[in-house]
C-alpha cells in the first residue's frame, strides 16, 4: 500500500451559541479536514485547527506530500521522520506540529482500517474502559452560565469547566454562580493566558474561595517561568495549556515543576505517538495529562478518545469540544458522553464515519465566508 495524495478541505464550523472566553466572543471556527489517500482505496482522515489560514495549511500539506507520496502509510515513524527532515522541524512548534500531527493521525486511521483494528489497540491497547469528560458551561453572563451548569448537573457530569479572564467583577460573579449550582463537583477554570503574573496571583487568590480543582494557563502562554511563578504563589493547582508544543516543553515544565497538570493533545505534540511519549515524560514526573480540546469536530474527538484509552496518567474531566458545534461532521458513533463518560468503541482506524453531506455543508459555509468576507 502506498500514499497517493493528501487532500485538504477547509470547513467553517458554526457554533450552537456564542462562545465567550478571555477577551473574545466567537461564533464559528475554521478547521481543515485532511484526507490521506492510498493506492488501495483506503483513506485516513484527521483535521487541522488552530486558526491558521487554510491556504497556508494546504501549502504545507502539499509540501509534506512531496516526501510522503509513494511511501507506505504503515511505516508511520519512518514517514514522519522524512517529513521532519523536509523542514528541519523535528518537534518544531505550533504550526508545524498541528499539520504534521494531523497527517500522523490520518496515517494511523489508514493503518487501523487496513488491519481492521481500532487505533488504540495499535498503540499498545487500552488501559482503561472509559474516559471521563467535563461539561463545558459558557454564556454571556452569570445567569446563562448557571443555566448551562444546571444542565451539566442534570446530565450527570462530575467535572465542570468554564472560562475566566473576562474581567475581575465578571469572573467573580460568574464563578460564584456556577459553584452555587454545581455543589461539590469539580470546577475547572481556564484563563487562556489572559492575566499577567501579578493579576493572575491576585485573581486566583480571590477565586480560591470557590475551590477550583485547578486554574488553567493563568499567565502568559509563552512563558514557563511566569507559570511557575504563579503556581508557587497561589493556593490552587495550576495547569499548563497553551504553552506546550513539543516534548521539550513537556520535559521542561515537568523538570521545573511549573504546573500540576498538563493540558495537551496530539495536535500540539505532532501526533498520537509523540502524545504518548509526552504522557510518559509527565508520568515519570508524577504529573497527569488532561486532554486538550480545540475548536474541533468529532473527527478529532474520536482520535483523542482512542489515544486517551491508552494513557495511564489521565485525569478525569477531559476536554471535549464537538458538542459546541451546530452540526458535527461524523455520522457515527454517537459521542455524546453519558454521565460525562465515553466507553470503548471497536470501529477500526480512528473509529468514526464521516458524514459526507455535513462535510459538504461545512465546506460550502467556508467557501461562502471567503467569498462574502463574513
Ligand atoms: Mg485551555
Q: Could you tell me the distance, in angstroms and rounded to a whole number, from the CA of residue 135 to the centre of ligand 1?
A: 14
Please give the residue that has the higher pLDDT: either 244 or 58. Answer: 58
CA atoms within 13 A on the CB side of 312: 8
- What gap in Å lies between CA 359 and CA 330, rounded to an integer? 8
Q: Could you tell me the distance, in angstroms and rounded to a whole number, from the CA of residue 45 to the centre of ligand 1?
A: 25
Q: What is the CATH number of domain 122-353?
A: 3.20.20.120
Q: Could you tell me the distance, in angstroms and rounded to a whole number, from the CA of residue 159 to the centre of ligand 1?
A: 15
Q: Could you tell me the distance, in angstroms and rounded to a whole number, from the CA of residue 241 to the centre of ligand 1?
A: 5
Q: What pLDDT, on a 0 to 100 scale, did the predictor assign at position 25?
A: 87
Alpha carbon 48 to chain centroid, angstroms: 11
Q: What pLDDT, on a 0 to 100 scale, did the predictor assign at position 93?
A: 65
Domain with CATH 3.20.20.120 in the chain: 122-353
Q: What pLDDT, on a 0 to 100 scale, did the predictor assign at position 373?
A: 62
Q: Could you tell me the distance, in angstroms and rounded to a whole number, from the CA of residue 209 to the centre of ligand 1?
A: 21
Q: Could you tell me the distance, in angstroms and rounded to a whole number, from the CA of residue 216 to the centre of ligand 1?
A: 6
- What gap in Å lies between CA 298 and CA 330, rounded to an integer? 6
Nearest CA-CA partner of 319 in 183, 173, 197, 137? 137
- What gap in Å lies between CA 21 and CA 368, rounded to an integer? 26
Alpha carbon 71 to chain centroid, angstroms: 28
**Edge-to-edge, what's the strand order for the sheet holding 3-21?**
3-21, 24-38, 43-48
Mean pLDDT across the stretch 100-105? Answer: 96
pLDDT band per the 50, 70, 90 thresholds, residue 89? low
Neighbouring residues of 198: CB distance < 8 A, sequence distance ≥ 6? none
Residue 92 scores a pLDDT above 60: no
10 Å CB burial of residue 286 (0-12, 13-18, 19+) is exposed
Residue 221 scores a pLDDT above 80: no
Query: What cell numbers appear for 251 in the block?
Result: 520535559
* Residues 340, 298, 295, 316, Cα dihedral to 10°: 30
Residue 16 scores a pLDDT above 70: yes
Q: Could you tell me the distance, in angstroms and rounded to a whole number, from the CA of residue 192 to the centre of ligand 1?
A: 6
Q: What pLDDT, on a 0 to 100 scale, did the predictor assign at position 38?
A: 98
Look at residue 90 and give its three-state secondary structure: coil
Q: Could you tell me the distance, in angstroms and rounded to a whole number, from the CA of residue 23 to the centre of ligand 1?
A: 14
Neighbouring residues of 358: CB distance < 8 A, sequence distance ≥ 6? 327, 328, 329, 330, 331
Q: What pLDDT, on a 0 to 100 scale, did the predictor assign at position 220?
A: 85
> Any idea which architecture 3-115+355-372 has in CATH?
2-Layer Sandwich (3.30)
Q: Could you tell me the distance, in angstroms and rounded to a whole number, from the CA of residue 239 to the centre of ligand 1?
A: 9
Q: Could you tell me the distance, in angstroms and rounded to a whole number, from the CA of residue 140 to the centre of ligand 1?
A: 19
Mean pLDDT across the stretch 115-137? Answer: 97
- What gap in Å lies between CA 62 and CA 68, rounded to an integer? 10
Domain with CATH 3.30.390.10 in the chain: 3-115+355-372
Q: What pLDDT, on a 0 to 100 scale, did the predictor assign at position 323?
A: 87
Q: What pLDDT, on a 0 to 100 scale, did the predictor assign at position 374?
A: 57
Query: What cell numbers appear for 211 in the block?
Result: 475551590
- What gap in Å lies between CA 211 and CA 265, rounded to an integer? 26
Residue 21 scores a pLDDT above 70: yes
Average pLDDT of the chain?
94
Please give the residue that has the higher pLDDT: either 268 or 331. Answer: 331
Mean pLDDT across the stretch 111-127? Answer: 98
Amino acid at each position: 500500500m502506498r500514499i497517493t495524495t493528501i487532500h485538504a478541505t477547509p470547513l467553517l464550523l458554526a457554533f450552537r451559541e456564542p462562545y465567550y472566553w478571555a477577551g473574545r466572543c466567537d461564533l464559528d471556527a475554521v478547521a481543515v479536514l485532511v484526507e490521506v489517500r492510498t493506492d488501495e482505496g483506503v483513506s485516513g482522515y484527521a483535521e487541522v485547527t488552530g486558526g491558521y489560514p487554510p491556504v497556508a495549511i494546504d501549502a504545507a500539506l502539499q509540501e509534506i506530500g512531496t516526501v510522503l507520496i509513494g511511501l507506505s502509510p504503515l511505516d508511520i515513524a519512518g514517514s514522519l521522520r522524512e517529513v521532519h527532515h523536509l523542514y528541519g522541524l523535528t518537534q518544531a512548534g505550533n504550526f508545524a506540529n498541528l499539520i504534521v500531527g494531523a497527517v500522523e493521525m490520518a496515517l494511523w486511521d489508514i493503518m487501523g482500517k487496513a488491519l481492521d483494528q481500532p487505533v488504540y489497540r495499535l498503540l499498545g491497547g487500552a488501559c482503561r474502559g472509559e474516559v471521563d469528560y467535563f461539561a463545558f458551561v459558557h454564556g454571556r453572563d452569570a445567569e446563562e452560565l448557571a443555566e448551562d451548569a444546571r444542565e451539566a448537573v442534570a446530565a450527570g457530569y462530575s467535572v465542570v469547566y468554564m472560562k475566566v479572564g473576562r474581567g475581575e467583577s465578571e469572573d467573580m460573579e460568574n464563578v460564584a454562580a456556577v459553584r452555587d449550582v454545581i455543589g461539590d463537583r469539580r470546577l475547572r477554570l481556564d484563563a487562556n493566558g489572559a492575566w499577567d503574573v501579578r493579576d493572575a496571583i491576585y485573581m486566583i487568590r480571590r477565586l480560591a474561595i470557590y475551590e477550583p480543582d485547578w486554574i488553567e494557563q493563568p499567565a502568559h502562554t509563552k512563558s514557563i517561568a511566569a507559570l511557575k511563578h504563579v503556581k508557587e504563589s497561589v493556593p490552587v493547582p495550576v495547569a499548563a495549556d497553551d504553552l506546550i508544543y513539543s516534548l521539550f516543553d513537556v520535559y521542561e515544565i515537568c523538570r521545573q515543576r511549573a504546573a500540576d497538570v498538563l493540558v495537551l493533545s496530539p495536535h500540539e505534540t505532532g501526533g498520537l505517538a509523540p502524545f504518548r511519549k509526552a504522557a510518559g515524560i509527565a508520568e515519570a514526573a508524577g504529573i497527569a495529562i488532561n486532554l486538550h480540546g480545540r475548536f474541533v469536530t468529532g473527527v478529532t474527538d474520536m482520535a483523542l478518545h482512542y489515544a486517551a484509552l491508552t494513557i495511564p496518567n489521565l485525569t478525569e474531566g477531559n476536554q471535549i469540544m464537538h458538542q459546541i458545534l451546530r452540526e458535527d461532521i461524523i455520522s457515527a458513533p454517537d459521542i455524546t458522553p453519558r454521565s460525562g463518560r465515553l466507553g470503548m468503541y471497536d470501529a477500526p482506524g480512528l473509529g468514526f464515519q464521516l458524514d459526507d453531506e455535513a462535510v459538504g455543508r461545512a465546506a460550502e459555509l467556508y467557501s461562502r465566508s471567503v467569498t462574502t468576507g463574513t
